[in-house]
A and B are shown apart, each in its own frame.
Chain A
Amino acid sequence: MTTNGKNGKYVGQPVKRTEDPRLIQGLGHYVDDIKLADQLSVAFLRSPYAHARISSINVDAARSAPGVVGVFTGADIDGRVGFVPCAAALPGLKVPRYPVLAIGKVIFVGQPIAAVVAVNQYAARDAVDLIEVDYDPLDVVIDPVRGAAPESPVIHEEFGTNVAFNHQAGLGDVDAAFAQADRIVKQRMNHQRLAPISIEPRGVLASYLPGEQQLTLWTSTQIPHLARTQIAVMLGMPENKLRLIAPEVGGGFGSKLNIYAEEALLGFISMQLNRPVKWIETRRENFAATIHGRAQVGDVELAVKNDGTILGLRYDVTADLGAYHQLLTPAIPTLTGLMLSGSYKIPAISMTCKGVFTNKMSTDAYRGAGRPEATYVLERIVDIAAQELGLDPVEVRRKNFPRPDEFPFATATGLLYDSGNYEAALDKALGLVDYDGLRREQQSARQNGRLLGIGLSTYVEICALGPSAAMPAGGWESATVRVEPTGKVTVLTGASPHGQGQETSFAQITADMLGVDMNDVLVLHGDTSIVQYGIGTFGSRATAVGGTAIVLAIEKVIAKAKHIAAHLLATSPEEIVFENGKFSGTPLDKQASIQEVALAAHLASNLPPDTEPGLSATHFFEPKNFTFPFGTHVCVVEVDKDTGDIKILRYVAVDDCGKVINPLLVDGQVHGGIAQGLGQALFEEVVYDESGQLITGTLMDYTVPKAQQLPRYETDRTETPTDVNPLGVKGVGEAGTIGSTPAVVNAVIDALRPYGARHIDMPLRPEKTWRIINGQ
């Protein structure tokens, strides 16, 4: 057994991934690699305007173009395909109707207006250019703060306002806390809009069989079952007639935790034409019409005493929602509100959030999803407070940590942190980076005119989403574990890994618990006709929740197998010991292997009375709480005095994600997360101009970091288990993204301290640092 924190033959080991042989040989099957006979290609005409009425659409020339089989516009889907769904619920939330093709009006650049179906993508794209649309441009809403004002143009006329919701969160007497403060530290901070940019764009292949009345949809998604339910509703078909398959998925980062217009529309078109149809998103479409992340601007205020004790926090934020709600758009800023206590004891917290529609692509969950915003605000304002109070940023943090014996720790945001030892992670990181030595080095560097900066971030995040009561559509996860007649083990997980490596880590858990070779375990996922209903992969939940479902299903399998083994060995189940794949009775020389028991279970000719044949079990695991991983990231930078260029000299991350199943995979998640955080801190920003044109619509304009722009990461861990699940795991998928941005910005501000720097908004382009150095 591998539970309760014990390492096994596989668990805890850096096992190479079982996914890799197919992927490193180009033999995996992403959506675009699946080809069906008679398959047609779909291309979209998308809005070139951010806000306009459509006075006419003429598709005649497109329809008669060579190779074109059909053209669909809003008139074809009106009343026949349901609206793109939003699962988030907030009091008074305004939810606009979001048609899969624009009807009468477009409200963001990239909104689909017409779909052309042709024999191949060349013919389809040619015909798109033949569609004539007359637009009457309308005034646009770009800045969410101005968009909330009464005099602003309104995007959704039916609401008479662009404000979709006002959200209030937090507990404690904030006014009293601020009244008692020695000092109130304030700062406005911007979280720029980001594009998730999975290297595989989205893609859909739909195939309808009219005889069976069955639609199969291959789509690049993180949530196959939730997508099946929602798309079936949109198409007005029984959900069990829709088979949804997430094949190999080339990255998601939250962008594929959604239901997109194109997914339902492709299903609809296939049902109309009775032929398979495929659409693969271009990168330009990916920038314009796949969800964006972040996009919050807010004022944070911290009430502190002169010794650095934090008394209270206020955060007044405006969230740029974009044009429509996608699946979770309004829920993302609420996660920010939940995480505003970070790793500190803050007795009183208040967040007010205004969610505002703008003429841009919707924002939604991008890696971290609301938590990086909270961590950034808090870790920045704590640093600013330390600066104003003349204290070391390490000491201010240390002073406000809850002690290990204060867990479970209740925050003023209504959460109960499961376990933590924040000081241990901090001390380990400081030791790794030699903090005191660095401060001395910084002193001498400054004397020599070099701008060295040290920044830290002591983050906490919320993972293992989550208890169903706190989730829009179920927070459990499912697993079926089957021991086949030959003793091979098949695991069906409701999680939907897309790069995280759970085909490997779930096999490690299974092989250890059942005492079989890892190569005898096959982990299947992503096909709703094969796998029992599941929730999917997001919110760093797959191992903590989905892995636990596997553990509990295996425990059921073992219990049944013990019963059968006892019968085979002519003893009682209570006498049976199961170890290393062998059931032993008393005396111990009587043994039956798991494989022998599996065969007996299927032959069923010699089973104990009232025993069902077969050896499989399903478990739906409902977690009792979230988990709260934490850690300390330290970034050391040097800023070039002449150019403002920022060079990361060292990046040290000590993360605590509880028990580790596979350190290779955990480090991989941390690396990738940090890279995306550094991307946000230094390079990335989605920019719309004042007319709502997307001017970062290609990889030339939007700076996804390259290998030579990123440092080597020095990673280490502390391991504080959680009792939220029997594996003791907390989740690690987003930690790097959440912990890293403030560490970088704090380091750069620290480097620029000789120039009185206090705050710079991300991305920290050299121009911004150069202006500070040059007093402009």
Chain B
Amino acid sequence: MEITLKVNGKSFQADIEPRLLLVHFLRDISGLTGTHVGCETSICGACTVLLDGAAVKSCTLLAVQAQGAELTTIEGLAANGKLHPVQNGFWECHGLQCGFCTPGMIMASCALLESNPNPTEAEIREGLEGNLCRCTGYQNIVDAVGYAARELTGQQARTR
């Protein structure tokens, strides 16, 4: 069936099988392989993307469920050659090792900071409960999100 959706501001139209998973649409049709598949069961969170601003797990959504939606993937975060503050946080705080969970972790962190711009450490840890990392032991990820929160709120203060 025909669907149309926007990924990182770009429109995609495709004739797809109704059972096609959103993550496969992103990876195979949009050609954006930054969104990873780690478990196919919504648990590891490697496939997390933003659907109309909300963090969703694209491995258990059908592409047809995203008809008409605006999606943001990891490839869509940096703008004009400038990293997003969350990406910066992960780089500055050594919030990644193998990097496989990272795109999903970063997207989930973006959604977390959108709903809670000044999270406590406990709130960050709870907010990332849908994302697994096997390399870092999470501490540097938590610090990366805290770093991004400070950078984002600082930006907002400056633009006010």
Q: Which residues of A contact B (CB under 8 A)?
A: 16-17, 19-21, 23-30, 32-33, 122, 197-201, 248-251, 253, 280, 282-284, 498-501, 664-665, 667-668, 671-676, 698-700, 704, 706-708, 710, 712-713, 736
B100 contacts across to A, CB distance below 8 A: 30, 198-200, 250-251
Task: State the 5 A-B residue pairs at the shortest beta-carbon distance, nearest first.
Answer: A26-B34, A250-B100, A499-B98, A675-B137, A23-B99
Q: Which residues of A contact B39 (CB under 8 A)?
A: 283, 698-699
Query: Which residue from B37, B43, B78, B135 sits with its C-beta under 8 Å from A699?
Result: B43
What is the distance, in angstroms, from A391's C-beta to the closest C-beta of chain B?
33
Q: A16-B92, A27-B75, A248-B99 are in contact. Are A199 and B133 (CB under 8 A)?
A: yes
A718 CB to closest chain B CB, in angstroms?
21
CA distance A438 to B126 in the complex (A): 29
State whether A671 touches B136 (Cβ < 8 A).
yes
Is B136 a contact partner of A25 (Cβ separation < 8 A)? no
User: Using Cβ atoms and an 8 Å threshold, which residues of chain B touch A282?
Assistant: 40
B135 CB contacts on chain A under 8 angstroms = 199, 251, 499, 668, 672
Contact among B44, B122, B133 for A283, CB-based, below 8 A:
B44
What is the minimal beta-carbon distance from A675 to any residue of chain B, in angstroms?
3
Inter-chain contacts of B129 with A (CB < 8 A): 706-708
Whole-angstrom CA separation of A685 from B39 in the bound complex:
18
User: Is B140 on the interface with A (CB-CB < 8 A)?
Assistant: yes
| Inter-chain contacts of A664 with B (CB < 8 A) | 94
The answer to whether A699 touches B36, judged by C-beta atoms less than 8 angstroms apart, is: no
Interchain CB contact under 8 A, B36 and A200: yes
- Quick one: closest B residue to A698, CB to CB? B41
Query: Is B38 within 8 A of A500, CB to CB?
Result: no
- Chain B residues with Cβ below 8 Å from A19 are 99
Smallest CB separation, A294 vs chain B (Å): 16
Complex partner residue of A710 from B17, B98, B124, B137, CB under 8 angstroms: B137
B113 interface residue, CB < 8 Å from A? no
Known: A30-B36, A250-B98, A707-B128. A20 touches B91 (CB 8 A): yes
B35 within 8 A of A: yes
With A26-B73, A199-B101, A668-B97 already in contact, the answer to whether A251 and B134 are too (CB < 8 A) is: yes
**Which single member of B92, B99, B125, B128 contacts A499 (CB below 8 Å)?**
B99
Total contacting residues, chain B, CB less than 8 A: 56
With a cutoff of 8 Å between Cβ atoms, the chain B residues found around residue A197 in the complex are: 134
The answer to whether the Cβ of B106 comes within 8 Å of any Cβ in the partner chain is yes
- Name the residue in B77, B97, B103, B128 with the highest tally of chain A Cβ atoms < 10 Å from its Cβ: B97
Q: Is the CB of A33 within 8 A of B134?
A: no
Task: Find out whether the CB atom of A199 lies under 8 angstroms from the CB atom of B137.
Answer: no
1/0 per residue, CB under 8 A from A, across B75-100: the answer is: 10110000100010011101011111
Is residue B32 within 8 Å, beta carbon to beta carbon, of the partner chain? yes
Q: Which residues of A lie under 8 Å from residue B103 when comparing CB positions? A: 24, 26
B-side interface residues toward A, CB under 8 Å? 17, 19-20, 27, 32-41, 43-44, 46, 73-75, 77-78, 83, 87, 90-92, 94, 96-103, 106, 121-122, 124-126, 128-129, 131-142
Interface of B is mostly: loop
Residues in chain A near residue B121, CB distance under 8 A: 712
Interface centre among B37, B78, B135, B142 (most CB of A within 10 A): B135
Could you list 12 examples of A-B contacts with CB < 8 Å?
Answer: A16-B92, A20-B91, A33-B33, A199-B132, A200-B98, A250-B100, A251-B97, A283-B38, A498-B98, A499-B99, A707-B125, A712-B139
A25 touching B78, Cβ below 8 Å: yes
- B139: chain A residues within 8 A (beta carbon): 671, 710, 712-713
- Nearest to A196 among chain B residues (CB) is B134
A370 to chain B, nearest CB (A): 20
Supposing A25-B74, A200-B38 touch, asked if A713 and B132 sit within 8 A by C-beta, the answer is no
A675 CA to B142 CA, complexed, in Å? 14
**A193 and B87 alpha carbons, distance in the complex (Å):** 36
Tell me the minimal C-beta distance from A663 to chain B in angstroms. Answer: 10
Determine if A201 and B38 form an interchain contact, defined as CB atoms under 8 angstroms apart.
Answer: yes
Is A21 a contact partner of B91 (Cβ separation < 8 A)?
yes
Beyond A20-B90, A198-B100, 18 additional contacts (C-beta under 8 Å) are A16-B92, A20-B96, A24-B83, A25-B74, A28-B99, A32-B36, A122-B17, A199-B132, A250-B101, A499-B98, A499-B135, A668-B97, A668-B140, A672-B136, A675-B136, A707-B131, A708-B125, A710-B138
Contacts of A21 in B (CB 8 A): 83, 91
Q: Report the bound CA distance from A498 to B100 in whole Å.
A: 10
Instruction: Provide the bound-state CA to CA distance between A708 and B132, in Å.
Output: 11
Q: Chain B's nearest CB lies how many Å from the CB of A96? A: 31
With both chains docked as a complex, state the minimum distance between the C-beta of A482 and any C-beta of chain B, in angstroms. 27
Indicate whether A199 sits within 8 Å of B94 (C-beta atoms), given known contacts A33-B33, A706-B132: no
Q: A249 to chain B: which residues have CB within 8 Å?
A: 98
Closest partner residue, chain A, to B74 (CB atom): A26
- Pairwise interchain contact A713-B137, C-beta atoms closer than 8 A: yes
Also in contact, A251 and B126, with CB within 8 A (given A699-B132, A700-B41, A710-B137): no
CA distance A706 to B132 in the complex (A): 6
Is there contact, CB below 8 Å, between A707 and B32? no
**A672 touching B38, Cβ below 8 Å:** no
Rounded to whole angstroms, the CA-CA distance of A17 and B99 in the bound complex is: 12
From B32, B74, B94, B131, give the contact of A17 (CB < 8 A): B94
